[in-house]
């Protein structure tokens, strides 16, 4: 009987450790900013695609989860967190999709593609001195990103993204 308890405990510890490490490493890095002063955090879950589509245009994309972190002017993530993010993007399955800059700001989009859809999308926006980070999960068609009705400071940068 003690062998069964030890075996069961070992299995449970392995399973809990594996599921914790299977989470998106970017989510783990940004989690600590949720309640920081000078950071607005928007968290939506469920099928939020319907909220983001206009009345006259239906979206084929499905977004199940959205996290937006808006840092006030003059605030940003620490250099060590920036290094962790860069490492997570390089080590993970993320690839740089778009990196563009104009008068109003800069946009960098990274994604994980599966079956011609983006399952994880990470975006860094710099808009009027504010740093904004967006994490989306679902089945996203990249060309529909500019058609989505995001409504937060800096979201107009996403509307300006043109995807061939």
CA dihedral 138, 143, 144, 146 (to 10 degrees): 120
CA–CA distance, 84 with 90 (Å, rounded to integer): 10
Q: What is the structure's pLDDT at 16?
A: 36
133 close to 153: Cβ distance less than 8 angstroms:
no
Q: Is the pTM of this model over 0.85?
A: no
Per-domain boundaries in the chain: 24-159
Spell out, as residue ranges, where the chain has pLDDT lower than 70: 1-23, 149-164
pLDDT of 83 reads 93
The pLDDT score that the predictor gives to residue 102 is: 79
Which pLDDT belongs to residue 23?
Answer: 58
**Predicted local confidence at residue 135, as pLDDT:** 92
| 66 exposure class (CB count in 10 Å sphere: 0-12, 13-18, 19+) | buried
Virtual CA dihedral for 152, 30, 111, 123, nearest 10 degrees?
30
Residue 151's pLDDT is: 60
């Amino acid at each position: 009987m003690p062998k069964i308890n030890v075996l069961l405990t070992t299995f449970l510890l392995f399973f809990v450790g594996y599921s914790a490490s299977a989470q998106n490493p970017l989510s783990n890095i940004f989690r600590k900013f949720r309640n920081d002063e000078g950071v607005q955090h928007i968290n939506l879950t469920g099928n939020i695609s319907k909220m983001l589509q206009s009345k006259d245009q239906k979206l084929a994309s499905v977004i199940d989860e959205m996290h937006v972190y808006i840092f006030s002017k003059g605030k940003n993530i620490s250099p060590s967190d920036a290094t962790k993010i860069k490492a997570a993007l390089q080590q993970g399955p993320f690839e740089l999709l778009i990196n563009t800059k104009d008068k109003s700001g800069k946009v960098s989009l990274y994604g994980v593609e599966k079956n011609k859809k983006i399952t994880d999308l990470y975006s860094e926006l710099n808009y009027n001195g504010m740093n904004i980070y967006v994490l989306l999960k679902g089945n996203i068609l990249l060309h529909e990103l500019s058609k989505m009705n995001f409504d937060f400071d800096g979201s107009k940068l996403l509307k300006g993204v043109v995807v061939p």
